[in-house]
Amino acid sequence: MSFRQNLNHELSKLFNGLWDADVNRFTPGKDYRISLQGKAGYVPSRNNNAKDSAPQPLFLYVDEERLRSVKTFAAFVSLLDNYEMSTGVVEVVTPEEITENNRFLDVILETEVMKITHQYLLQKNLAKPSLPDFKKQLYTIWFQLYSRDGSRGSDSCGFEHVFIGESKRGKEIMGLHNWVQFYLQEKRNNIDYKGYVARQYKSRPDEDDQVLNLQFSWKEMVKPVGSSFIGVSPEFEFAIFTIIFLLSQDKVTKEVVRIEEYELQIIVYRQGRFIGTAYPILLSSNNEDLY
């Protein structure tokens, strides 16, 4: 059976519009270079032993000047040190961190990507016309703290899980689906890229693919399969994950979309009124047939 039978054409059209509007996206081969190297081996869940099929880092080069000069990237990077890594440890949010969260939302809301997103959600009656009200909605969805592992304290939020990553009491990697965080952690020798995870329909991805399935260790914990957009702006990821979250009240929403040459399944988990996790899975690229 082809995945295309389940392709969401409305969201595909919308997300291609967001892709075209994403002027802050980094270009492979120009703004960054990656080295896929070998295919990752199978690692059972909770097993932190993994063959290293990639002696080099994933990222060979990233234009850090552009990371610093593009407002949305700069505001995004300022958030990456604001959270405790391990669940079960209550998060303490300082006034400075609240200011950084609001600054990030302010700058992404200035982008065409988020303007298109707001208009679409208005048409669906899923957002209010007022920009301050929409910003509050985004803040609640992404930055409101909650308990992830059932402890009494608030130890997690959607932003931390998806964009920064966290560990399940120091034993298991959760989240970390953002390429900038991956690059910065790899640069600090906290992440060891183990190799690409092959898709069922293609033995090897291309090094200019902007969606990848990867295996890596982070502070000695192995993530058997992690998936991430590569090079896209934070506002692009914020937009598509927010849209899918708001379109459904299901605990888990899975939408198959086609963005440029990539056929993806976008998965969003709901944690009550908040995002639990969200990530893409690459199904095919370069017009491959999915049978």
Task: Tell me which residues are annotated as active site.
Answer: 161, 177, 223
Closest to 165 in 3D by CA, of 201, 202, 214: 214
3-state class of 59 per DSSP? Answer: strand
Phi-psi region of 146 (alpha: psi -120 to 50; beta: other; left: phi over 0): beta
3-state class of 215 per DSSP? Answer: strand
Give Cβ neighbours of residue 98 (< 8 Å, ≥ 6 apart): none
Instruction: Please state, as a whole number, how many other Cβ atoms lie within 10 Å of the Cβ of residue 272.
Output: 9
Contact 216, 226 (CB under 8 A): yes
What backbone torsions phi and psi does residue 235 show, to the nearest 5 degrees? -65, -35
- Rounded Cα distance between 165 and 172, Å, is 11
Read off the DSSP letter of residue 183: H
Instruction: Please state, as a whole number, how many other Cβ atoms lie within 10 Å of the Cβ of residue 121.
Output: 19
Closest to 181 in 3D by CA, of 263, 257, 78: 78
Closest to 87 in 3D by CA, of 160, 162, 20: 160
- Rounded Cα distance between 102 and 93, Å, is 13
- Rounded Cα distance between 283 and 94, Å, is 40
- Rounded Cα distance between 175 and 225, Å, is 11
Closest to 268 in 3D by CA, of 258, 259, 255, 257: 255
